[in-house]
Amino acid sequence: MLQEAAQPAAEVATMLQKIGAGAFGAVVGWYVYYINRWRKDDVQLSDIVTLIGAIGGAAVLALFPERTDLFGAYGIGLATGFFLYFFILVILVNKAPGFSSAWFLDGRAPKLTDTEVTTVGHGMERRDRIES
């Protein structure tokens, strides 16, 4: 509250701006989990530091100045998007036939049947390109 009072009038954000900052953070948070989920190698500490730099770096600070409500709304949205992805993933993995929560450990999945093929993560590519 004291911080709000200390902010210049021009930096007091409207509700719409806060919602926008939160929504932007939610998209970034969703994408952070997405990138983490599809990484090829084991996680390294340098990856985490790089990721933290990206989500709290100069570009974000240019949009949402530090010590403002916009920055706070961005942080809330970031966590919301990140954990929303995770919770939806938990639900989908537990509901998918043949899958269990072991998928989160090492990607364990059921064997393909005779009529199924794997697209190795290219689910939206054309079938003829995958088979060639």
Partner 1 sequence: MLVSLGAIGFGLVFGWLLGLYDFPPEKRPAAMAALISATVASGGVMAWLVGVAAAAPFPIATLVALWVHTQWRTELRKRHPKSNDS
Residues contributing to the site for partner 1 (CB under 8 A): 1, 3, 18, 25, 29, 32, 36, 42-45, 48-49, 51-52, 55-56, 61, 66-69, 71-80, 82-83, 86, 100-102, 104-106, 108
In angstroms, what is the minimal distance from the CB of 78 to partner 1?
5
- Is the distance from CB of 80 to CB of 26 less than 8 angstroms? yes
By the 10 Å C-beta count (0-12 exposed, 13-18 middle, 19+ buried), 4 is classed as exposed
Nearer to partner 1, 58 or 117 (CB): 58
Q: Which is nearer to partner 1, 108 or 127 (CB)?
A: 108
As a whole number of angstroms, the distance between CA 122 and CA 124 comes to: 6
Q: What amino acid is encoded at 45 in this protein?
A: L
Q: How far is the CB of 110 from partner 1 (least distance, A)?
A: 14
The helix-helix angle for 69-95 and 15-37 (nearest 10°) equals: 40
Min dist. Cβ of residue 73 to partner 1 (A): 6
